Amino acid sequence: MTSKRKSNYLDSDELDQEMARYVDTGEISERLGQLILELHDHILLHRNFRGYRQDLKDEMKGYSLLRIIKCGLNSFNPRRGCKAFSYLTRAIFQNYITIITRYYRKLNNHQKWLKNELANLSPNDPVWKKFAKDFGLSEGMDVVQSGDL
């Protein structure tokens, strides 16, 4: 009985051959690039990465492509018995986790800074008045309440 493969299925043997060709020649073929892009797109569909905004997904994909080309392909050795599919999948997954971690660290630092800046404003400050007007807050309202941000 033959098994049917989906049209977007990535052939592991073809990826192994392309990676072995890269190790021998040092040049990334167009087909290897296509296979890596397909792998990136498929991993972005994983349940861990579905809920993120498209701009963050694009950043994750771009960063991961850069890291794979810069470091990942050079450290791959098919003679150690490692399959290219598993190697690249793990590397891409880890790069995505790194980008998400950096994103949330930056967001958390920004929220702390904003909370600190808002706490230092007085209600008579023109910056506070503009902020209150833009966000529909009353001018006499406390700037930062417990649990905000």
pLDDT in tens, 53-66: 898 899 999 999 99
- The answer to whether the CB of 31 falls within 8 A of the CB of 38 is no
Give the pLDDT band (50/70/90) at residue 130. confident
53, part of any domain: yes
Structurally, the chain folds into a number of domains equal to 1
105, part of any domain: no
3, part of any domain: no
46, part of any domain: yes
Give the pLDDT band (50/70/90) at residue 1. very low
33, part of any domain: yes
18, part of any domain: yes
119, part of any domain: no
For the stretch 43-48, contacts whose Cβ atoms lie closer than 8 Å and that sit 24 or more positions apart, written own/partner, are 43/89, 43/92, 43/93, 43/96, 44/96, 46/93, 48/96
CA dihedral (115, 121, 124, 129) positive or negative = negative
DSSP assigned state of 125: S
What residues make up the domain containing 67?
Answer: 12-100
